[in-house]
Amino acid sequence: MQWCNFPDPLIVILGPTAVGKTELSIRLAEALNGEIISADSRLFYRGMDIGTAKPTRAEMLRVPHHLIDVCDPDETWSLAVFQRAAQEAIRDIHSRNKLPLLVGGTGQYVRAVIEGWQIPAQQPDPRLRQALEKWAVEIGPDEMHRRLALIDPVAAGRILPGNVRRTIRALEVIFNTGRRFDEQRTKGGSPFSLLMLGLKRPRAEIYARVDARIEAMLKDGMLDEVRGLLAKGYSADLPSMSAIGYREMTDVVQGKMTLDEAVTEMKSLTHQFVRRQANWFKETDPDIHWFNAAEDCLPQMITLIQSGQGWLPRSRTEE
């Protein structure tokens, strides 16, 4: 591993949806004999390709990718399962003398890996969840989210108001334990030497790229992709089908929303999601080295990686 002198190195590439992480991470992996571990929770599911902006087959042939297409839409990959799988993938890449790159915009999943979260085993409570689901129907998603914000504003700030599933899960854990959702995850320290690279663009430019991506998804057949998933028997109530875009396209298929209404909703919700992503990784964070994604920042990144500057040493010793 000629690119640095740190043990168990891990490059982390961060940034909001549509900033340009996919192409940049592939180019960086090609230049440094690396492999990519996806930290985007939407990419776990097989058959959900267009609406998740999943890397194309050609892109994934350029460098090895991990944790993409690892389960079917009716399977659940929890945060704890992802964390274990990501750590195993990183160690496997190290064992082959290659450089792992953790890439994604799902802040919770990235933090779980790089901070060594100790995630408590919290079994679902079907009776409580059923009561919360009934409550959500009665008062609506926005009001349900407001109630969560009153109890745990940090958790609420990281969940879109329309994401009823995650809102209910947070409330379920809080009511079962009597503790705020975020208080139940302790940081065990990172078993890896980290270099955190952030990609940024002006917010207006991000929004324009989001809107263009959504229009491209529709032209590429996202509505037919959703029709196909429903035809295979995947329920509209599955957590995977609650992702932005899939929920709205399902409403179109079921006649609950027009296509124009769905597109407007998708764009609005994705803009909100971009703003919430910033809560996980702030440009004021001194541990993150930010680069302008509108420029060719690959040479600067390679120089920084090879310089040995900016790396965060391991903070946990693996037993």
Distance between CA atoms of 31 and 302, rounded to whole angstroms?
Answer: 8
Instruction: Kindly report the length of the chain.
Output: 319
Beta pairing class for 99-104 and 34-38 = parallel
Distance between CA atoms of 223 and 260, rounded to whole angstroms?
Answer: 12
The residues with which 34 forms a beta bridge, in sequence order, are 99
Distance between CA atoms of 214 and 235, rounded to whole angstroms?
Answer: 23
Q: Is 20 annotated as a binding residue?
A: yes
Q: Which helix (H) or strand (E) holds 195?
A: strand 193-200
Evaluate whether 51 touches 226 at the Cβ level (below 8 Å): yes
Q: What is the DSSP letter of 126?
A: H
Q: Is 270 annotated as a binding residue?
A: no
Q: Is 104 annotated as a binding residue?
A: no
**CA distances, 158 to each of 20, 176, 211, 274, 314 (Å):** 22, 20, 22, 11, 27
Q: Is 284 annotated as a binding residue?
A: no
Query: DSSP letter string over 244-284?
Result: TTHHHHHHHHTTSS-HHHHHHHHHHHHHHHHHHHHHHS-TT
Q: Is 34 annotated as a binding residue?
A: no
* 12 contact partners, CB below 8 Å, separation of at least 6: 101, 102, 103, 110, 114, 194, 195, 196, 197
Tokens matching residue 37 = 């571990």
Q: Is 21 annotated as a binding residue?
A: yes
Distance between CA atoms of 175 and 12, rounded to whole angstroms?
Answer: 34
Q: Is 16 annotated as a binding residue?
A: yes
Residue type, 164: V
**CA distances, 163 to each of 42, 87, 272 (Å):** 14, 28, 12
Tokens matching residue 150 = 């009153």
Which segments are annotated as binding site for ATP? 15-22
Annotated binding-site ranges: 15-22
Write out the binding residues for substrate.
17-22
